């Protein structure tokens, strides 16, 4: 008789996901900063940056190394609950959709990932990323007006209301939903292939990281256009766009199709590292929790 795969308790998934998200963002934030700057550097105006290296050098020259971490606080405050919601919702859904042997196929993994992505987009990602993009964009102004996370949030809510933190919601839901659908589907397929007939076979952290990097790369090539649109919709010049569709049409009209893949190189590097780190830390934390927190 084949052994049945063990289920991960949602509480463990929430805690492990939060820990993984916090550690990961501290490691990878500079690449997120560069990606956002390149996406905001529209062709309609003379571009400030000639590429990734030029963006890094100009930032360090004018603001020091700490300039590459502008906006970290807002993203860090969001990354912990975002990953907690992502993994918690995924485990809740997957526990319901696994077959009698406790196995989740790639199609169901995609559905569970989609649900997790949509939930994290609505509850966490959209408001936190809107604030992050405004902080980064504010640095390019002659007189930056945000002095820190809480001051920035107060100013945004005071001048724009709560709605000001929910710019680009449709694009964010599309991006996060497709992101996690692709990532969890790929991870599920790779895990099933590696474990074969033994669903409880342990996976080496290096293997987990490699699988995560592959899943991350797949999501980048699948939805970078949505990420570009989302970033434009959340920037300080978001008022130029009437809707998500209007934003997409104006980018196509004024900048051409290549603009939808602006920032792909730094995003590819960041996301592959991001997903690899998150899955490694998540899996290792779950292993520790299984030893100290008995739920069966």
pTM summary value:
0.75
Contact status, residue 22 vs residue 81, Cβ threshold 8 Å = no
Range of the domain at 189: 167-262
Contact status, residue 133 vs residue 234, Cβ threshold 8 Å = yes
**CA atoms within a 13 Å half-sphere pointing along the CA-CB vector of 217:** 7
DSSP secondary structure code for residue 200 in this structure: T
Q: Tens digits of per-residue pLDDT, 154-191? A: 888 898 888 888 887 888 898 899 999 999 999 999 99
Quick one: 88 and 146 in the same domain? yes
Quick one: 119 and 184 in the same domain? no
As a whole number, mean pLDDT of residues 80-108 equals 92
Residue 155 forms part of a structural domain: yes
pLDDT classification of 3: cutoffs 50, 70, 90 = low
Q: What's the burial of 38, exposed, middle or buried (CB within 10 Å: 0-12/13-18/19+)?
A: buried
Q: What is the pLDDT of residue 157?
A: 87
Quick one: 188 and 135 in the same domain? no
Contact status, residue 146 vs residue 152, Cβ threshold 8 Å = yes
Quick one: 66 and 77 in the same domain? no
Q: Tens digits of per-residue pLDDT, 86-98? A: 999 999 999 999 9
């Amino acid at each position: 008789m084949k052994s049945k795969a063990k289920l991960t308790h949602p509480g463990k998934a929430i805690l492990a996901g939060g820990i993984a998200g916090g550690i990961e963002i501290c490691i990878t934030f500079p690449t997120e900063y560069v990606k956002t700057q390149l996406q905001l550097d529209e062709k309609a105006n003379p571009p400030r940056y000639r590429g990734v290296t030029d963006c890094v050098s100009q930032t360090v020259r004018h603001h020091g190394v700490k300039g590459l971490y502008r906006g970290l606080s807002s993203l860090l405050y969001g990354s912990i609950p975002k990953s907690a919601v992502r993994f918690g919702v995924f485990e809740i859904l997957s526990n319901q959709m696994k077959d009698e042997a406790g196995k989740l196929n790639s199609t169901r993994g995609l559905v569970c990932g989609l649900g997790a992505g949509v939930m994290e987009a609505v509850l966490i990602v959209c408001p936190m990323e809107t604030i992050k993009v405004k902080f980064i964009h504010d640095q390019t102004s002659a007189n930056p007006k945000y002095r820190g996370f809480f001051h920035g949030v107060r100013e945004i809510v005071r001048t724009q209301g709560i709605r000001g933190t929910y710019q680009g919601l449709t694009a964010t839901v599309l991006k996060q939903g497709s992101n996690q659908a692709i990532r969890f589907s790929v991870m599920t397929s790779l895990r099933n292939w590696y474990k074969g007939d033994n669903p409880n076979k342990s996976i080496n952290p290096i293997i987990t990281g490699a699988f995560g990097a592959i899943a991350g790369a797949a999501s980048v090539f699948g939805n970078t256009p949505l990420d570009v649109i989302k970033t434009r919709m959340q920037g300080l010049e978001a008022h130029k766009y009437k809707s998500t569709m209007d934003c997409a049409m104006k980018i196509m009209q004024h900048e051409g199709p290549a603009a939808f893949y602006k920032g792909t190189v730094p995003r590819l590097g960041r996301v592959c590292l991001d997903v690899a780190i998150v899955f490694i830390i998540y899996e290792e934390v779950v292993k520790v929790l299984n030893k100290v927190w008995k739920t069966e």
